[in-house]
Amino acid sequence: MDLPLFGLVPKASLSIALGVVIHSLITIARNPRGACIPTLLYRACLVLLLVLPAIWLRVVNSNVVEPYLDEVFHVPQAVRYLAGRWREWDDKITTPPGLYIISYLILDKPGLIRSFICGLVGGFGSLENLTATLRETNALAIFAIAYFVAECRQYLEHRAAPGKERQPLAPWPSLYALHSGFNVIMFPAIFFFSGLYYTDLWSLVAVLNAYKIHLDRVAHARDGLSVRRVAMALCAGIQALAMRQTNVFWVVVYLGGLQAVDAVKSLPASEPSQDDAKTTSQQGPPGTRFEEVLRTSPYAYLRYWAAGNIHDPSLADATFFDMILLATSLVVAVLCNLPRVLAQVWPEVLVLGVFGGFVAWNGGVVLGDKSNHVATIHLAQMLYIWPLFVFFSAPLLVGYVIPVLSYLYRVASRLPWNMRKQPIKTGVYLPCPCGVQHSLSPHIAWYRCKTAMSYLLVGVSLAMAAGIVHLNTIIHPFTLADNRHYMFYVFRYTILKHPAVKYLLVPVYVICQRLCWQLLCGCSHLGLAETTCHSCPLRSFNCSGAVPERVHSYHSSPSSPSKESVASKKSPATDDNAKKPVGPLAKEASKDVVAPDTLQGPSSDSQRSAQPLSTALLWLLATALSLVTAPLVEPRYFIVPWVMWRMLVPAWRLHDCRDDTPLGPFYHGSDGAGAGKTATGRRGPLAALNWLGQRVDLRLFVETVWFTAINVVTMYMFIYRPYVWRDAEGNVLDEGRLQRFMW
């Protein structure tokens, strides 16, 4: 008797799931103590993620038997390749044949992949059966996407760990990385197209594969040049090009740029001359403040940057001036060390050469139908991307709601009519809503300068967005001609509703851009770090009165210290003279001391750390190049930028709410006894949530529910709300075929 669940799951998914379970048992048998719980969680989630897309695939195959929309072109072309007719090509197809080659490797009878997964489907009967079979290959792509996202996130967390405290790469990803991988495949655009035969999923797999190989090269850079890894990087880059032309920007610009930055940073420390050593010991490295840059000799900066000491602060501490310094220092460092950089990035350069040869041979970037897919400059794409990110990633903004509410509550509680009579204090201290006094100099000066710069950037962003909207709003004819896509209704009820609507959306674009950028800054922004005043606008001021390292760097030394200073610094873990927090701070600090087997949660600093500024800027550049050349606006085009952005978002931890905050009584009880208990020993109603939120990233669970809700709605609209095209007179068009709503 067949179980209903097994009847819904494809044979390929069951085969891989069985292999995952067997591998889990072998791993647990080898290391029953250390690998039991994390491995079981890891493998269980991998098996679970195979089931959900498989169910969606079966539903689609049962209700949409014939090829739908772009499948009308992809399925016959795959049939030609399966039949061995390699020279036949449909001119309506604009992407390279990578998807059909993968289908051939999986479905061809003597194929190794087919034999490995124990057979996907029996023989090929009718076109409908072959369509269902080809769709099943995208279910395999879902498994690969989740695997690569978890692995890439693991590498990013490993790279964020301090150098001297960096441990070997763990054999399994962290819970945050694992859950992020699961949420990525639940992303509505990815999950929806896992049931159709489109190129987007395998194109994403190719980019993620190249990204993982790059991170592996960086992690093993100290081992020397590896021919195997370099060859794998070259093959992965060409494979990404074979899936989609715009992948060249992600392989060459993003990955090549990251490889160049790593090559510069890994330059060996050179012995300074006596004069240089004397000057450095007396004055320190060149400063990074604007006035210091104006006063310092340009030769000092050139010599400093040429040694590989580029200015690459954490994204959480970066300003617009840091971006200028980063770009300048990186250009100088690359030009002064060009042979070493080329030795590291030559696979990406060769991929660029292959792409150039393809363009010369094809007479253009687009294959097939060049008339309807003319490359153009569409800058408005970089405005549309931010509301899309905010809509789909709205659960990640939960971390901003709590500190904002807490801050407003503290400000309101200290208004004149709410405050008790207190003596007015005078001096060089500024009252802060969090109750902590901060010195005016240099803290307030640095904060005010950064705030003024932020307001200036917002004004410039508004002006640029308004100019783009006025001069470069392009609406492709396909967008208005096809009412099966959701983007048709988005444009119809926003930009096309009234000429003034597109200008009214300019502030929305800028606000969404700021939110997406701040999410990359991690837990330390907007008072989210446990080492800062949770509700204080002076987010970088430590409650113990210590000056943050970034403030020191703005007034004395750069945030990117020299290689000699880094090498001479003593590890904080082994510094016996390091200052330890006392009093209430000691209790807060003790919460961060986690047992080694629980460091996989968001308590690990490496998971909550923001990425370097160079990584974010290279991502922004690759995203812009891949989008502004496309005149058509489709959510599918934003899949790769969103996935790469989502992997860079750090983990977040729910911070302990104090008794004087709006949520404090819910955590600690009405009398605020602390530790989640009241004076009678009872816990607040949210104490369990507080305990869990300090150990896992609660946003991921909300994100899972949010994606599931969107997927349920879009699946229902696609399957159960079909319609028929009719003309103005009511006559049936397109031979009465059912039309369906989709992304």
Which among 253, 482, 242 has a CA at the least distance from the CA of 367?
A: 242
pLDDT score, position 138: 80
Residue found by looking up tokens 């308590």 in the block = 603
pLDDT score, position 23: 63
SS (H, E, C) 62-92: HHCCCCCCCHHHHHHHHHHHHCCCCCCCCCC
- How many distinct helices (H) and strands (E) make up the chain? 34, 4
Question: Where is average pLDDT lowest: 15-19, 175-179, 419-423, 709-713?
Answer: 419-423
Could you read off the pLDDT of 566-623 as tens digits, one per residue? 444 333 333 444 344 433 334 333 343 333 333 344 445 667 677 889 999 999 999 9
Enter the tokens of residue 718.
């696609």
CB 643 within 8 A of CB 187: yes
Residue found by looking up tokens 């970034």 in the block = 550
Which among 255, 433, 282, 261 has a CA at the least distance from the CA of 340?
A: 261
Question: Where is average pLDDT lowest: 170-174, 559-563, 612-616, 694-698?
Answer: 559-563
pLDDT score, position 569: 38
| Centroid of chain to Cα 651 | 11
Could you read off the pLDDT of 298-308 as tens digits, one per residue? 777 788 888 88
Enter the tokens of residue 236.
């992965």
pLDDT score, position 663: 52
Q: What is the mean pLDDT of residues 15-41?
A: 60
- Angle at which helix 338-362 crosses helix 320-336, to 10 degrees, equals 90
pLDDT score, position 426: 42
Could you read off the pLDDT of 247-305 as tens digits, one per residue? 999 999 999 999 999 989 887 755 445 454 444 444 445 655 555 555 666 777 788 88
Confidence check: pLDDT of 404 > 70: no
Is the pTM value of this prediction over 0.85?
no
Which among 179, 265, 273, 20 has a CA at the least distance from the CA of 700?
A: 179
Residue found by looking up tokens 């923001």 in the block = 610
Separation of alpha carbons 49 and 190, rounded Å: 13
Could you read off the pLDDT of 661-698 as tens digits, one per residue? 455 554 544 444 444 444 444 455 566 667 677 777 88
What is the Rg, in whole angstroms, of the alpha carbon atoms belonging to the chain? 28
Q: What angle do CA 271, 272, 276 make, to 5 degrees?
A: 175
CB 530 within 8 A of CB 592: yes
pLDDT score, position 364: 80
Burial 513-552 (b: 16+ CB within 10 A, else e): bbbbebbbbbbbbbbbbbbbbbbbbbbbbbbeeeebebbe
User: Average per-residue pLDDT in the chain?
Assistant: 73
Separation of alpha carbons 183 and 269, rounded Å: 42
Enter the tokens of residue 116.
């490995």
Confidence check: pLDDT of 1 > 60: no
Question: Where is average pLDDT lowest: 120-129, 471-480, 578-587?
Answer: 578-587
Enter the tokens of residue 724.
């028929």
pLDDT score, position 459: 87
Could you read off the pLDDT of 188-205 as tens digits, one per residue? 999 999 999 999 999 999
Beta bridge partners of 658: none
CB 193 within 8 A of CB 743: yes
Half-sphere exposure of 462 (CA within 13 A, CB side): 9
Burial 641-658 (b: 16+ CB within 10 A, else e): bbbbbbbbbbbbbbbbbb
